[in-house]
Amino acid sequence: MLDAVPISPISQLDALFDRICIKLQLSATAYGLAANRYGSVSEWLNDEKSPLARYKPRIYPQGSLNLGTTAKPFGKAEYDLDFVCEFAIEFEDRPNPLSLLDWIEQKLSEHEVYKQMLERMNRCIRLTYANDFHLDILPACPNPSAGLFGKTCVLVPDARLEDWKHSNPLGLADWFRFKAAEAFKNFSRGSIKPLPEQVAYEDLATLQKIVQMMKRNRDVRLEHLEEKERPISIVLTTLAARLYDGQPSPTLALIQVLDALIDEIEASGTKRLVIINPTNENEDLSERWESRPELYQIFVDWVYDFRSELGSIVEIRGLDKIEAKLKEMFGETLAKDAIAEFAKSINVPRENGTLAVEKGTGLLVPATVAHSTTVKSNTFHGRE
User: What's the angle, vertex CA 126, arms to CA 122 and CA 130, rounded to 5?
Assistant: 140
Residue pLDDT tens, the chain, 384 long: 333 344 678 888 998 999 999 888 877 787 788 878 878 888 888 888 888 888 888 888 888 878 888 877 777 667 788 889 999 888 778 788 899 899 999 999 999 999 999 999 988 999 998 767 888 999 999 987 765 666 889 999 998 888 999 999 999 999 998 888 876 666 554 333 332 333 333 356 899 999 999 999 999 999 999 988 999 999 999 999 999 998 989 999 999 999 999 999 999 999 999 999 999 999 999 999 999 999 999 999 999 999 999 999 999 988 899 999 999 999 999 999 999 988 887 765 555 655 555 555 445 555 555 555 665 655 444 443
Q: What is the pTM of this model?
A: 0.82
In this structure, what DSSP letter does residue 303 have?
H
145 CA to centre of own chain: 30
Identify the CA nearest to 84 among candidates 164, 158, 41, 138.
138
**Contact in structure between 273 and 264 (CB atoms under 8 Å):** yes
Using DSSP's 3-state secondary structure scheme, residue 195 falls into coil
In this structure, what DSSP letter does residue 223 have?
T
What whole-number distance in Å separates Cα of residue 342 and Cα of residue 347? Answer: 9
Using DSSP's 3-state secondary structure scheme, residue 225 falls into coil
What whole-number distance in Å separates Cα of residue 25 and Cα of residue 12? Answer: 21
**Contact in structure between 262 and 303 (CB atoms under 8 Å):** yes
Beta strands in the chain (DSSP E): 58-62, 79-86, 118-120, 125-129, 133-142, 154-158, 163-167, 355-358, 364-366, 372-374
